[in-house]
Structure 1
Amino acid sequence: MTTNKDIYILGIESSCDDTSAAVFHNDKKLSNIVATQDVHQAYGGVVPELASRAHQQHIVPVIDQALKKAKVCKKDLSAVAFTRGPGLMGSLLVGSSFAKSLSLSLNIPLIEVNHMQAHLLVHFIDEIDSVKPNFPFLGITISGGHTQIVKVKDYFDMEVIGETLDDAIGEAFDKCGKMMKLPYPAGPEIDKLSKLGDPHKFEFAKPQVKGLDFSFSGLKTSVLYFLQKRTKENQNFIEENIEDLCASFQYKVVDILMSKLNKAVKETGINEIAIGGGVSANSGIREALLDKQHRKEWIVHIPKFEYCTDNAAMIGIVGYHKFLNNQFSPLTTASKARYTIKTSL
């Protein structure tokens, strides 16, 4: 096992539409730069080809900024970590190609990182006032592409015990938001408007799925039929009730998520929870989790907003722990659009 006290890791994240680079000194973050892509707003969703082109434009300046902000030279790097998957293949290839080239030119190790593991391990970044989870804990990854409950036994010993059977939670927010004529991405808009509405004004269907798995397609269908019926009666229904619609929808999503988490805690006997992914920024979900902690039922770990969306800091911290265990990757490592936690161990 490596015992070097000065390990410098460059992390690169390019799985979807955010280009990000971070520099770590051991488990401490020195920089975390993210370049977002506004081009997708006009299309109501991420366009893969446009995303990969934007990554090509952003990756060099983003990495340059990350190194400069960290005050670290390329020659000081101990290894370069990159997102292998899951994600959009074109986007992943931009990050992996750059990481491989840098690894080869500097003659330093290459470290592949599973994007889904990284969302959970971001809690292990060493920061002031940060409290790291204790193993084992239940990890909840909630984003535009994934919804999973993971039993985390160690840094790289994870087991998915529940996941969505159809749509991810973030996808449900965006698609239902589109039905309510909200701009993309709709999640933040629904969250903002929900604070002004009555969460009990309208009732939407709660899918009945056995075990710890999720389903959000039924909820989307419920919202669709409800809006079709009401707008037929009043073409201005959505505009006149948008705050109550958002509050009622968000209330139902939080109810679905918390019901499964309650079940997972009972079945596993683990009451320490850590969430990650873009939807972990949602205020309704955060409040429901913190309420459990205030009642002293659960120990809850919620990431800073900086770490909720796709970012390279989560790649860097995983890279650091893999470096300690000499878990390096060959230059022949291929990107994987589909990459489960199980197949990455």
Structure 2
Amino acid sequence: MNTIRRLLAVAATATLSTAACAQDSVVLKVHHFLPAGSYAQQQFIQPWCDKIAKDSAGKLKCQIYPSMQLGGTPGQLVDQVKDGVADVVWTLSGYTAGRFPLMEVFELPFMMQSPEATSKALWEYVNTYAMAEFKDVKPIALHVHGDGVFHMRDKPVRSMADLKGLKVRAPTRQTNKFLAALGATPVAMPVPQVSEALSKGVIDGAVVPYEVVPSVKIQEIVKYHSETDPAEPAFYTSTFMFVMNKDKYASLSPELKKVVDANSGLALSGQIGKVFLAADAEGKKLTAKNTTNVIPAAELANWKKAGQPLVDGWIADVSAKGANGKQLYDAARALIAKHQAAQ
């Protein structure tokens, strides 16, 4: 009888040990809206997954679901990670218009010049002033992309006059407002819809960074690419979030939480910005057969005047909701300048 009890005890211990090991092995469902071959997945999401797997000795792994393979639309990604449909998502804050109003300051005209510095500034700004907007998720990284570029079907953009009456896609409500101020007819849509909309003539052009070009094969659909003077801040950028389900993070062992924490934050945000800048250079190579022009600083001075009401409007809107809009705007610009100087 004692022998049997000992054997049962050993078996029970082995079962508990096996269960503990199984709990130590965690697979994160990572969901995003671009194809698996996109620069975002290849140069940022997959490397992050590889890093946490290495740092956790294989206990923390990812299953990546590109191109909205878990269902839904890009605008639903934030709710998907909040509700646990996905464990981690990467998306634009602008795909859920109005949900991140304080963060939106970085999407105002002519805020960003260096994606790396501005991404670091964005992380610091949100953690200082806007964490209430992220109360439902755990931020891993926040970042921006490189300079926005006009990709046009039939004619280049050299001045505000060239935009008059044209239907141009933009990603966020601030960029849509800015295009309207410049004389265009803005059309809001996520990146995956851009190719079809251009091909069918639903839109005359789109503003996206060069990094997006291979994902939607935009170089095969348009003839012209219009950049802004590289010495000037970008006429627009978008803010992105790489965020985790709070309950999933809470369920991790202290050891695995440390791995996630060590691969989150300001340095990662800046690194992603740097990756997106490098991806712009690669994407631009694909447009070589088309015609590219640069909109000069003298013309952009007119654009800045046209965009100032957007800045004033954002300050007024957030102030009406109880925040100090001018203080937040100044803080965002100061943080960008600080991280730019530190590069």
Larger radius of gyration: 2
Bigger share in helix: 2
- TM-score normalised according to structure 2 size: 0.29
- TM-score normalised according to structure 1 size: 0.29
